Amino acid sequence: MTRATVAHEVLIASCAISTGIHAALVPEHLREETAAGVGFLASAALLAALCVALTYRPESRLAVGAAGAVLAGLTAAYALAITVGVPVLHPDQEPADGLGLVTKAIELVGLAAALHLTAPGRPAGRLTRLQPKGTR
């Protein structure tokens, strides 16, 4: 298994975990602030779509780059939410919590994987589908 393959799997796993956490928090955020709930729903849907794209198009540098951008954006949004609030979505500052911090740690690992996969000089098409052992 190559480093690129491991990084690709880590990126998919990070997006999948973040999808589940954001989806699970939609009802709570909808009750508190409709815009925040819609933001969590949109995040979960976008992350789920990226999981599918990364799985079925592993050679797609666009999907890898998009996943990295979304993970970076979610991390930045959380940083804003716990420091000054996020205008429109969640204008009031919220306290940092364990689930949020763990989620951001997972997303940062995924972001690191995306950066590894899109590093300058990495040839296109280096990512390939994983094949069961014995079929290569």
Question: Which pLDDT tens digit goes with each residue over 72-89?
Answer: 999 999 999 999 998 888
Looking at the chain, the whole-number percentage of residues with pLDDT higher than 90 is 77
d(CA 7, CA 14): 10
> What's the angle, vertex CA 68, arms to CA 62 and CA 74, rounded to 5?
135
Q: Give the pLDDT confidence score for residue 89 in this predicted structure.
A: 81
Give the model's confidence band at 64: pLDDT under 50 very low, under 70 low, under 90 confident, else very high.
Answer: very high
pTM: 0.87
User: Higher model confidence: residue 90 or residue 37?
Assistant: 37
Question: Which pLDDT tens digit goes with each residue over 80-113?
Answer: 999 999 888 888 898 999 999 999 999 999 999 9
Q: Give the pLDDT confidence score for residue 121 in this predicted structure.
A: 75
pLDDT of 50 over the 80 cut: yes
